[in-house]
């Protein structure tokens, strides 16, 4: 598999920087589909995962979060890919921020406001990982993280959580316990159907509310993003 250049994510934030670009329409369609999936009570926390690496999770998470923010929704994107944090590729200034691990480290005495970064003059906020933790499991299993997410759910109208691939580590399955819904990102050229099915099954076996899968076509031309029903 060709190695991708993560730095290129910051050039792909169409929904944030060029909301009238036709490509930003893909993300509005995804948002509409999410809304249609739960008409009676709007989803306010969403986990994004994929079967394997490099599927476009971070790129899509940030564009989707920007789409909500552009619609006036106070939106937070949380990087819970504690193994390969990527929000810093989208927003390089986040690399020096204390982030999630800063808040969880009580010796630093940080508040949420110290760790959450507002993105420009928008309704979009970001919580990066901060210093990469030695033991992601102990963070993901901590009561402190659950309490923090509850607090964030009170402060924000939408929280989008970027997570590691579901077939590689169990992080996304753990996180799915405290979010309202999940979406799987499959990369057109190299996510095979078997992996997609296996990932959907793992999420469902963990009682996750899986809304569906997005097939991400890296060429980003015409009908690139498909929103499939979750029985893929
Ligand atoms: N539709 C697309 N068109 C063009 N480039 C894309 C597209 N989707 C993703 N990419 C590029 O592919 C690379 C991988 O995307 P991204 O980092 O979002 O994937 P990921 O699933 O978060 O990866 P990881 O598993 O490492 O966290 C990035 O360089 C990104 O800009
Ligand atoms: Mg990523």
* DSSP letters spanning 191-204: --HHHHHHHHHHHH
Nearest CA-CA partner of 203 in 174, 161, 229: 174
Gap from CA of 163 to ligand 2 centroid (Å): 7
Q: What is the mean pLDDT of the chain?
A: 91
Ligand nearest to the CA of 217: 1
Ligand at minimal distance from the CA of 23 is: 1
Q: Which atom of ligand 1 is nearest to the CA of 89?
A: 17
Q: Where are the domains of the chain?
A: 6-228
Please determine, for residue 125, whether its predicted confidence score (pLDDT) is greater than 70: yes
Pocket of ligand 1 (CB under 6 A): 4-6, 8-9, 12, 50, 53-59, 81, 84, 86, 165, 216-218, 220
226 CA → ligand 2 middle, Å: 20
Task: Tell me how far the alpha carbon of residue 206 lies from the centroid of ligand 1, in angstroms.
Answer: 26
CA neighbor of 86 nearest in space, from 1, 5, 200: 5
210-216, strands of its sheet edge to edge = 117-118, 124-127, 75-79, 158-162, 45-49, 181-187, 210-216, 226-228
Per-residue pLDDT at 226? 43
30: three-class secondary structure by DSSP: helix
pLDDT at 188: 80
Helix (H, G, I), strand (E, B) or coil at 87: helix
Q: State both tokens at 139.
A: 């963070």
Distance CA 230, CA 210 (A): 7
Nearest CA to ligand 1 atom 14: 54
What is the per-residue pLDDT across 45-90, written as a single tens digit (0 to 9) for each?
Answer: 999 999 999 999 999 999 999 999 999 999 999 999 999 999 999 9
What pLDDT is recorded for position 41?
87
The atom number, within ligand 1, closest to the CA of 7 reads: 29
pLDDT for 94 equals 96
Ligand 1 atom nearest to 54, measured from its CA: 23
Share of the chain above pLDDT 90, in %: 83
Q: In sequence order, which residues have a C-beta less than 8 Å from that of residue 123 and are 6 or more positions away?
A: 68, 69, 70, 72, 73, 74, 75
Alpha carbons 35 and 41: distance in angstroms, whole number: 9
The answer to whether residues 152 and 76 touch, using CB atoms and an 8 Å cutoff, is yes
Structural class in CATH, domain 6-228: alpha beta
């Amino acid at each position: 598999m060709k190695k991708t250049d993560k730095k290129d994510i910051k050039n792909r934030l169409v929904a944030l920087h060029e909301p009238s670009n036709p490509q930003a329409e893909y993300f509005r369609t995804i948002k509409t589909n999410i809304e249609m999936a739960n008409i009676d009570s709007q989803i306010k926390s969403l986990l994004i995962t994929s079967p394997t690496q490099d599927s476009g999770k971070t790129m899509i998470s940030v564009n989707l979060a920007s789409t909500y923010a552009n619609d006036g929704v106070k939106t937070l994107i949380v990087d819970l890919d504690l193994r390969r944090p990527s929000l810093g590729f989208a927003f390089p200034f986040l690399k020096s921020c204390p982030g999630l691990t800063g808040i969880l480290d009580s010796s630093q005495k940080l508040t949420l406001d110290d760790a959450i970064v507002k993105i420009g003059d928008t309704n979009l906020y970001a919580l990066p990982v901060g210093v990469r933790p030695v033991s992601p499991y102990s963070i993901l299993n901590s009561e402190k993280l659950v309490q923090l997410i509850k607090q964030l759910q009170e402060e924000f109208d939408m929280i989008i959580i970027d997570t590691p691939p579901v077939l590689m580590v169990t992080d996304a399955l753990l996180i799915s316990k405290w979010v309202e819904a999940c979406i799987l990102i499959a990369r057109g050229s190299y996510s095979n159907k078997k992996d997609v099915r296996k990932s959907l099954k793992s999420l469902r076996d963990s009682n996750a509310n899986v809304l569906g899968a997005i097939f991400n076509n890296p060429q980003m031309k015409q009908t690139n993003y498909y929103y499939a029903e979750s029985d893929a």
